[in-house]
Structure 1
Amino acid sequence: MSRSIRPDAVLVQAVIAGALSFAHLHDLAAAAGQDGWKAWAYPVSVDLLLVAAWRRLRADGPSRLAWSWFLVALVASLGANVATAGFLDLAHPPAWLRFGVAGWPALAFLGGTLLAHSATVRSPADTAAGDRVPVPPAPAAPAPEPVFAPDAAPALPEAPTVPEAPAALVEHARKVADDHRARTGASIDTDTLRARLGVPAPMADAIAAQLT
């Protein structure tokens, strides 16, 4: 099945406008003394610079460099269209026109080189965003397992600490006990020993344990 070819109005208009602009640039260059193939090279140079600046604007966004050379090429193209409409006597072109046409190749070469090889300057915010390495989120830490403390065992009562009786006091207690046995014929009890010595009950118990 054959596809029907339908012309695009915008494309047709672009071709017509491009051809007219191309012809005007050629005529202006020829009037300024550029004959032969050189006159045809001028419109190619202007259009290429215009396209290069536009592509730089589309690819990298607005920049002073791209806009400057886009306006330079646009002024060159628009100026040629206006100049060939009868505003200038192309049979006797002025000196500034000859100067501009003669200097255009160097200017176009400079603009094309800068557009092709100049690095795009990005803002610090864009640079930081572009250079940032995404960091994956850290895995969630597992929930700690509940720790059940064993039932506390009941505290055992501490054994009473038996004080250690001084040797001199034990020796004195022994004499008291001997005297008590000589008088009563029985061993002295703890309460009597505590009363005779004037010591606390734990100390009396410790002395009595050492006397037996």
Structure 2
Amino acid sequence: MRAQLARLDAVIIQAVIAGALSFSHLHDLAEAARQGGWKAWAYPISVDLLLVAAWRRMREQQRAGQPSGGPRLWFLVALAASLGANVATAGLLDLDHVPAWLRVVVAGWPAVAFFGGTLLAHAPHPQETPVPASSTKGPDEEPHSASGAVEMPDRNMISAPSTGPDSGPASEDTTADPVTAPVAPAPTPVPAVALPPALVERVRALAAEHHTATGHPADPDAVRTRLGLPPSMTASVAAHL
């Protein structure tokens, strides 16, 4: 426990020192770029807030398995602004004569930070995967079947009479009446449709040809198929064979 607290204290102290130095460098650079007064103090806050917001959103999207290209881009932009201010105030840049392009970059930073912060704030948050209802079931609950139907006991088991020694006279007759299954009605025969004389001759010719080739009577359905007639005409073809 003490080792963890010692490591945590070291991380916090290091973060405070780094944040204070970066804050000071950004303030000095903004002041050298003619952004004096309260504006020089607002620049470091803007850079650090964008850096932290982009980092948090990037981590959230990575945990959710979503692409984090947008937050990573704004994290790199804020990191470049912070790192650039640290390097610029290291004696490599004359803060008394700041180049015009650097003054333009510092002056345009608020618009860039506002745009990036708005995109990060209004981006859709990653949705958590809903927990299935079956996983929230208690340990004593029994799983239900997939169709949700309740199994009923067999009807024969319910209606079976008792055959024990204590049963009365009513238990002597153990033969149950058989259950009569409903009989499906017979299909209504389709009346034959009269065929034209030419078609009748064609039917008889095909039947004679089949009988000559095979020695067996022609099948009405086969003849109807060869003539290209619908299935409803089978009875009409059979009537002329």
- Give the TM-score, by structure 1 length: 0.58
Q: Which amino acid in the other structure matches residue 84 of structure 1?
A: T
Secondary structure at the aligned position of 1:91 is classed as coil
CA distance in 1, matches of 2:87, 2:14: 19
Q: Which amino acid in the other structure matches residue 175 of structure 2?
A: P
Q: CA deviation at 1:139?
A: 5.1
Look up the match of 2:57. Answer: 56
Establish whether residue 142 from structure 1 lines up as the match of residue 152 from structure 2.
yes
Q: CA deviation at 1:133?
A: 6.5
Q: Which amino acid in the other structure matches residue 63 of structure 1?
A: S
CA distance in 2, matches of 1:92, 1:143: 95
Q: Which amino acid in the other structure matches residue 98 of structure 2?
A: P
Relative to structure 2, which stretch is displaced further, 39-48 or 111-120? 111-120
Establish whether residue 101 from structure 1 lines up as the match of residue 109 from structure 2.
no
CA distance in 2, matches of 1:133, 1:12: 44
- Give the TM-score, by structure 2 length: 0.51
Q: CA deviation at 1:44?
A: 0.5
Look up the match of 1:118. Answer: 123
CA distance in 2, matches of 1:85, 1:33: 19
Q: Which amino acid in the other structure matches residue 141 of structure 1?
A: E
For residues 30-179 of structure 1, what are the structure 2 equivalents within 5 Å?
A: 30-61=31-62, 63-120=68-125, 130=130, 134=133, 137=144, 138=148, 140-146=150-156, 150=175
CA distance in 2, matches of 1:83, 1:142: 83
Look up the match of 1:13. Answer: 14
Name which structure has the greater RCO, CA cutoff 8 Å, separation 6+: 1
Pair 150,86 (structure 1): closer, same or farther in 2 beyond 3 Å: same
Q: Give the unaligned 5+ runs of structure 2.
A: 135-142, 161-173, 178-241
Secondary structure at the aligned position of 1:93 is classed as coil
Contact residue 30 and residue 43 of structure 2 kept, 8 A: yes
CA distance in 1, matches of 2:151, 2:60: 45
Query: Matched residues, percent identical?
Result: 61
Q: CA deviation at 1:87?
A: 2.1
CA distance in 2, matches of 1:151, 1:41: 95
Q: Which amino acid in the other structure matches residue 41 of structure 2?
A: W
Q: CA-atom RMSD, angstroms?
A: 2.9
Secondary structure at the aligned position of 1:85 is classed as helix
Deviations 1:39-68 (A, max 9, x none): 111000000111111221233435122111
Q: CA deviation at 1:74?
A: 0.8
Deviations 1:13-61 (A, max 9, x none): 1100000000000111111111111111100000011111122123343
Q: Give the unaligned 5+ runs of structure 1.
A: 153-212
Deviations 1:152-211 (A, max 9, x none): 9xxxxxxxxxxxxxxxxxxxxxxxxxxxxxxxxxxxxxxxxxxxxxxxxxxxxxxxxxxx
Contact residue 61 and residue 126 of structure 2 kept, 8 A: no
CA distance in 1, matches of 2:35, 2:61: 36
